[in-house]
Amino acid sequence: MNGNPKHERRWASDTVPGKAIVSAGTSPGTESNSAADEFVEVTLDLQDDDTIVLRSVEPASVINIDDGGASSGHETPSSVSRSPTIRRSSSRGLRHFSQELKAEAVAKARQFSQELKAELRRFSWSHGHTSRTVSSSSAVNGTGGAAGGGFETALAARALRKQRAQLDRTRSGAHKALRGLKFISSKSNGVDAWIEVQGNFDRLSKDGFLHRADFAQCIGMKDSKEFALELFDALTRKRRLTVDKINRDELFEYWTQITDQSFDSRLQIFFDMVDKNEDGRITEEEVKEIIMLSASANKLSRLKEQAEEYAALIMEELDPERLGYIELWQLETLLLQKDTYLNYSQALSYTSQALSQNLQGLRKRSPIRRMSRRLLYYLQENWKRLWVLTLYVCIMIGLFTWKFIQYKHKDASQIMGYCLLTAKGAAETLKFNMALILFPVCRNTITWLRSTKLAYIIPFDDNINFHKTIAGAIVIGVILHVGDHLACDFPRLVNSSEADYEKYLKGVFGDHKPSYRDLVKGPEGVTGILMVVLMAIAFTLATKWFRRNLIKLPKPFSRLTGFNAFWYSHHLFVVVYALLIVHGVKLYLVDQWYLKTTWMYLAVPVLLYASERTLRFFRSGFYTVRLIKVAIYPGNVLTLQMSKPPPFRYKSGQYMFVQCPAVSPFEWHPFSITSAPGDDYLSVHIRQLGDWTQELKRVFSDVCEPPVSGKSGLLRADETTKKSLPKLKIDGPYGAPAQDYRKYDVLLLVGLGIGATPFISILKDLLNNIIKMEELAVTSIQDSVSDISRGSDLSVGSSDSPSLNKIGPRRKKTLKTTNAYFYWVTREQGSFDWFKGVMNEVAELDQRGVIEMHNYLTSVYEEGDARSALITMVQALNHAKNGVDIVSGTRVRTHFARPNWKKVFSKMCSKHYNGRIGVFYCGAPVLAKELSKLCYEFNEKGPTKFEFHKEHF
Residue 327 contacts residue 280 (beta carbons within 8 Å): yes
950/737 Cα distance (integer angstroms): 7
Q: Which run of H or E residues covers position 918? A: strand 916-922
The answer to whether residue 432 scores a pLDDT higher than 90 is yes
Model pLDDT, residue 786: 64
Taking only Cα atoms into account, the Rg of the chain, rounded to an integer number of angstroms, comes to 39
Model pLDDT, residue 627: 84
Distances, alpha carbon 916 to alpha carbons 127, 359, 744, 906, 909, in Å? 62, 19, 6, 14, 10
The answer to whether residue 27 scores a pLDDT higher than 80 is no
Least reliable range by pLDDT among 243-252, 635-644, 764-773:
764-773
120/325 Cα distance (integer angstroms): 23
Sign of the torsion angle spanned by Cα atoms 30, 33, 35, 36: positive
Straight-line distance from the first to the last Cα atom of the chain, in angstroms, rounded to the nearest whole number:
64
Of residues 356 and 853, more confidently modeled: 853
The answer to whether residue 87 scores a pLDDT higher than 50 is no
Question: For residue 514, is the peptide bond before it cis, meaning its omega torsion is within 30 degrees of 0?
Answer: no
Above pLDDT 70, what percent of the chain? 72
The answer to whether residue 382 scores a pLDDT higher than 50 is yes
Question: pLDDT category, 608, cuts 50, 70, 90?
Answer: very high
Three-state SS at 475:
helix
> Among 558, 833, 826, which residue's Cα sits nearest to residue 690?
558
Model pLDDT, residue 474: 94
384/370 Cα distance (integer angstroms): 23
Of residues 580 and 873, more confidently modeled: 580
> Among 619, 580, 586, which residue's Cα sits nearest to residue 603?
580
Model pLDDT, residue 530: 93
> Using one digit for the tens of pLDDT, what is the confidence trace for 153-166?
877 777 777 777 66
Dihedral over alpha carbons 363, 368, 374, 376 (to 10 degrees): -120
Question: pLDDT category, 952, cuts 50, 70, 90?
Answer: low
The answer to whether residue 22 scores a pLDDT higher than 80 is no
Of residues 573 and 326, more confidently modeled: 573
Model pLDDT, residue 532: 93
193/170 Cα distance (integer angstroms): 32
Model pLDDT, residue 798: 40
Question: pLDDT category, 135, cuts 50, 70, 90?
Answer: very low
Q: Which run of H or E residues covers position 768? A: helix 757-790
Q: Which of 86-90, 138-142, 460-464, 782-786 has the highest mean pLDDT?
A: 460-464
Model pLDDT, residue 359: 43
937/347 Cα distance (integer angstroms): 23
> Using one digit for the tens of pLDDT, what is the confidence trace for 171-181?
445 445 545 67
The answer to whether residue 125 scores a pLDDT higher than 80 is no
- The residues facing 673 across adjacent strands are 684
pTM check: above 0.75: no
Least reliable range by pLDDT among 36-40, 301-305, 611-615:
36-40
Q: How many residues does the chain have?
A: 953
Model pLDDT, residue 197: 87
Name every residue whose Cβ is closer than 8 Å to that of residue 836 and which is 6 or more positions away in sequence: 888, 889, 890
- What's the whole-number mean pLDDT along residues 401-411? 87
- Helix spans in 80-224 (H): 92-140, 144-168, 171-178, 191-204, 215-218
- The sheet with strand 894-896 has its strands ordered as 894-896, 851-857, 819-826, 746-752, 916-922, 945-950
Distances, alpha carbon 247 to alpha carbons 211, 844, 951, in Å? 9, 57, 55
Question: pLDDT category, 941, cuts 50, 70, 90?
Answer: confident
Model pLDDT, residue 661: 87
Three-state SS at 52:
strand
> Among 192, 267, 373, which residue's Cα sits nearest to residue 7?
267
**Angle CA 598–603–607, to nearest 5:** 150
Model pLDDT, residue 466: 92
The answer to whether residue 363 scores a pLDDT higher than 60 is no
pLDDT, mean over the chain: 74
> Using one digit for the tens of pLDDT, what is the confidence trace for 29-71?
333 343 334 455 565 655 554 455 555 555 554 434 344 333 3
Three-state SS at 230:
helix
Put residue 267 in one of left, alpha, beta given phi > 0 → left and psi -120 to 50 → alpha. alpha
Question: pLDDT category, 15, cuts 50, 70, 90?
Answer: very low
Model pLDDT, residue 718: 63
- What's the whole-number mean pLDDT along residues 813-838? 80
389/870 Cα distance (integer angstroms): 55
- The sheet with strand 714-718 has its strands ordered as 681-687, 637-643, 627-633, 714-718
The answer to whether residue 905 scores a pLDDT higher than 80 is yes
Residue 843 contacts residue 891 (beta carbons within 8 Å): yes
> Using one digit for the tens of pLDDT, what is the confidence trace for 700-744?
887 777 666 555 554 566 666 556 778 888 888 888 888 888 888
Least reliable range by pLDDT among 173-187, 431-445, 766-780:
173-187
55/936 Cα distance (integer angstroms): 45
Model pLDDT, residue 263: 74
Model pLDDT, residue 607: 93
